[in-house]
C-alpha cells in the first residue's frame, strides 16, 4: 500500500488515498497498537479471538455479501486464477489461469456460458489478461510467464511475439488504449498492431547500470504519464522515458494500482465506482468497499483464498456497478447496488 510520506511533487490526493489504505489494513481488522504494558495473557487471548474470527467461515462455505455488495454467482475452476478483466461492453470477464488457459465467462441473468482459449502449443502460465477496445470487435491480449505475448479475436490468434528474456511477463492496457508490458524492473510501450517494443521505461538509476529500485508488478496511466507500482511507485514521462517522481516503500501488490476515471487521483486499490474503492485483503480473505473518507459501504467476506485480481465495470438497473473477484481458483460475481 501507499506510504504516507509526501515526496516532492506528490499530489495531495495520492497522500490522502495512502492514509485510507493504512487505516483499512491496520485499524479496521487488528485494532490500534496495544500498550507495551498489556499482559501477555490478554495478548494471547486477543490473538486467539482474532484467529477464530478470521476462520469463522468453513473453507467450503459460500462467501457472504454485506451492505451494498450482493453476491450474484460463484464458480470453482480447475486452475488458479491470476488475473481478470472485463470486456469493453461489460458483458464478459476474461480470466488468466496458471495452467496456461484463458477462460471467458458471461455476466447474464442465466447460467454463464463458459469458453476456454488455449494456445496451440504448450506454454507457461497465463500471468495477465486485458481487453483492447477496437471498432469492429474487442481483442484480448494475454501475457505468459515464458515471455510470450498473444492477441486473440474470438477463438483465433491474431498476433504472437516471444522474448524468452522477459520472464514473468505481464500486460496492461492504459486508459488511453496504449499497450504496455512489464517484466522485472522494465516497462515496455508496445505497438498495438505488431506488439513490438517502441519505448522502454526502467526503474534503474539514470535508465542504465545495475543500481535499480525493485520490480514492477503493475502499470497504469493517466495523461502524459505512465505509472508503475511494485516495490515503489514510479511516474515516467511517456515522451522521454525519464522518471519524474518516485514514492519508495509503497508495496503495491498484484494489479492494485488504478487512476480515478474522473479525477486526478491514484490509489493502490481498485475503483469500483466513481465514489467507491475496493480492497482485496490478503490475510482477512475478504473484499471491502469504502469511500475515500474511510466509510465502509460493502463487504464480501468468507473467501476461501486471498484475492489476486479484482476488477469492476458499470452496472445497469438497480446495480451501480459489478465486480469480478478472482481468489484462488474461484471466480465471484458481485453487484454493487445504488
| Nearest-angstrom CA–CA distance, 245 and 337 | 37
Task: Name the nearest CA neighbour of 140 among 183, 86, 98.
Answer: 86
How does pLDDT run along the chain (338 residues), one tens digit per residue?
333 333 333 332 222 233 333 332 323 323 333 343 333 334 434 434 434 443 343 444 589 999 999 999 999 999 999 999 998 888 889 999 999 999 999 887 544 556 788 776 677 899 999 998 775 778 899 999 999 999 998 888 888 999 888 888 899 888 777 898 988 888 898 988 889 898 888 887 654 444 455 678 788 876 678 888 887 888 888 888 888 888 877 667 667 777 776 666 777 778 788 888 887 755 568 898 988 788 899 999 999 888 888 898 887 777 788 999 999 999 999 999 98
Cα–chain-centroid distance for residue 15?
20
Dist CA 288 CA 173 (whole Å): 25
Structural domains of the chain sorted by starting position, each given as residue range(s) with its CATH number in brackets: 12-27+61-337 (2.130.10.10)
Q: What is the pLDDT of residue 49?
A: 44
Enter the C-alpha cell of residue 236: 515516467
> CA–CA separation, 236 vs 178, rounded Å?
14
Task: Give the pLDDT score at 107.
Answer: 80
Looking at residue 103, its pLDDT comes to 92
Q: How far apart are CA 249 and CA 283, in angstroms?
A: 20
pLDDT at 150: 92
Contact at 8 Å (CB) between 212 and 201? Answer: no
pLDDT of 282: 52
pTM summary value: 0.75
Q: What pLDDT was estimated at residue 114?
A: 67
- The grid cell for 219 is 502499470
Give me the pLDDT at residue 94, please.
94
240 CB-near residues (< 8 Å, 6+ apart): none
The two counts, helices (H) then strands (E), for the chain are 2, 27
Amino acid at each position: 500500500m501507499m506510504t504516507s510520506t509526501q515526496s516532492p511533487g506528490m499530489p495531495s490526493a495520492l497522500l490522502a488515498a495512502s492514509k485510507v489504505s493504512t487505516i483499512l489494513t491496520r485499524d479496521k481488522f487488528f485494532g490500534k497498537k496495544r500498550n507495551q504494558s498489556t499482559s501477555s495473557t490478554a495478548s494471547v487471548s486477543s490473538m486467539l479471538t482474532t484467529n477464530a474470527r478470521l476462520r469463522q467461515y468453513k473453507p467450503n462455505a459460500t462467501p457472504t455479501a454485506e451492505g451494498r455488495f450482493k453476491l450474484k454467482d460463484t464458480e470453482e475452476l480447475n486452475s488458479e486464477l491470476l488475473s481478470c478483466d472485463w470486456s469493453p461492453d461489460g458483458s464478459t470477464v476474461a480470466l488468466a489461469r496458471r495452467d496456461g488457459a484463458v477462460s471467458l465467462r458471461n455476466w447474464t441473468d442465466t447460467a454463464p456460458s463458459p469458453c476456454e482459449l488455449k494456445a496451440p502449443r504448450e506454454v507457461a502460465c497465463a500471468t495477465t489478461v486485458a481487453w483492447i477496445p477496437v471498432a469492429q470487435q474487442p481483442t484480448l491480449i494475454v501475457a505468459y510467464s515464458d515471455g510470450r505475448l498473444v492477441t486473440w479475436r474470438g477463438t483465433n490468434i491474431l498476433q504472437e511475439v516471444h522474448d524468452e528474456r522477459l520472464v514473468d511477463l505481464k500486460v496492461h492496457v492504459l486508459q488511453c488504449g496504449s499497450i504496455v508490458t512489464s517484466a522485472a524492473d522494465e516497462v515496455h510501450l508496445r505497438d498495438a498492431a505488431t506488439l513490438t517494443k517502441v519505448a522502454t521505461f526502467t526503474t534503474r538509476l539514470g535508465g542504465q547500470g545495475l543500481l535499480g529500485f525493485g520490480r514492477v508488478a503493475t502499470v497504469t496511466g493517466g495523461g502524459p504519464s505512465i505509472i508503475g507500482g511494485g516495490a515503489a511507485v514510479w511516474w515516467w514521462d511517456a515522451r522521454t522515458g525519464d522518471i519524474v517522481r518516485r514514492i519508495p516503500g509503497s508495496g503495491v501488490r498484484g494489479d492494485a494500482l488504478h487512476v480515478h476515471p474522473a479525477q486526478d487521483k491514484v490509489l493502490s486499490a481498485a475503483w469500483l465506482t466513481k465514489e467507491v474503492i475496493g480492497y482485496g485483503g490478503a490475510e482477512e480473505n475478504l473484499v471491502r468497499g469504502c469511500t475515500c473518507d474511510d466509510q465502509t459501504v460493502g463487504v464480501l467476506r468468507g473467501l476461501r483464498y486471498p484475492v489476486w485480481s479484482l476488477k469492476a465495470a458499470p452496472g445497469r438497473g438497480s446495480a451501480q456497478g459489478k465486480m469480478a473477484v478472482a481468489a484462488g481458483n474461484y471466480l465471484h460475481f458481485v453487484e454493487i447496488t445504488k
